[in-house]
Amino acid sequence: MNKIIIPAFCIFLFIAGCVATRDSANSGHISAKEKKGLERIAIGKSIESRHYVLKMDRIILANGQMIDLVPRNNFIIINGEIISVSLAYEGRSFGIRRITGINFNGHISRYIMKSNEQKNMYNIQIEAVTSSNDKFDIYLTLSISGNCTASINNSYIQIVNYRGIVTPLNEVRATSSSRVPVR
């Protein structure tokens, strides 16, 4: 009797496990590969619609040395025709006072985007103008995989390079609003 019950019970468990696996696969869970593909599509759409955030985690000095940065404090936000920049700066200053940061809100007067579909990359040239009529030239290389580089130039600073990640602007809004306590 035990010889029949034990194999029958094992077969029952195996079938129940297969059904549970099939049900969980059909219940809306997506695989890591599918999730990564959806993230790439979202990043590509945000770049093409000019609604994205660059979170910079490294500054690359003129001598090639890299310095780690805090990404939440070092960013470039592109929101249509509006640009917000808050970045650490290390390099020569061409003015009376030493410059230690690049911080401004402005509008985009020129935006040239070239896409390389074979490499899934975008090369973007931006000319940003602040309210005090300072002009910044910004050169971006963005990948839909989430990596980015930025170079910024102005008449008061030497060109400086950054490395970081790109995320859709709506994703940043959703995560920051989810941290607000509900009363």
136 with 56, same domain: the answer is yes
pLDDT tops 90 at residue 155: no
Mean pLDDT of all residues in 7-29? 51
Mean pLDDT of all residues in 20-37? 65
pLDDT at residue 98 in the model: 64
Contact 164, 57 (CB under 8 A): yes
Looking up tokens 């930025």 gives 150
Give pLDDT tens digits for 131-147: 999 999 999 999 999 99
- Reduced DSSP (H G I as helix, E B as strand, rest coil) percent helix, strand, coil of the chain, to 5: 30, 45, 25
For position 155, which CATH number holds? 2.40.128.410
135 with 60, same domain: the answer is yes
Give pLDDT tens digits for 157-170: 889 999 999 999 88
Long-range (24+ apart) CB contacts under 8 A made by 110-118 are 111/50, 113/47, 113/48
95 with 173, same domain: the answer is yes
- What lies within 8 Å, CB to CB, of 76 at 6+ separation is 53, 54, 56, 83, 84, 85, 87, 138, 140, 150
Structural domain count of the chain: 2
The residue range of the domain holding 16 is 2-30
Strands 135-143 and 121-130: antiparallel
Evaluate the CA torsion angle 107, 71, 98, 125 in order and state its sign.
negative
The b-or-e profile of 143-152 (16+ CB within 10 A means b, else e) is bbeeebbbeb
pLDDT at residue 106 in the model: 95
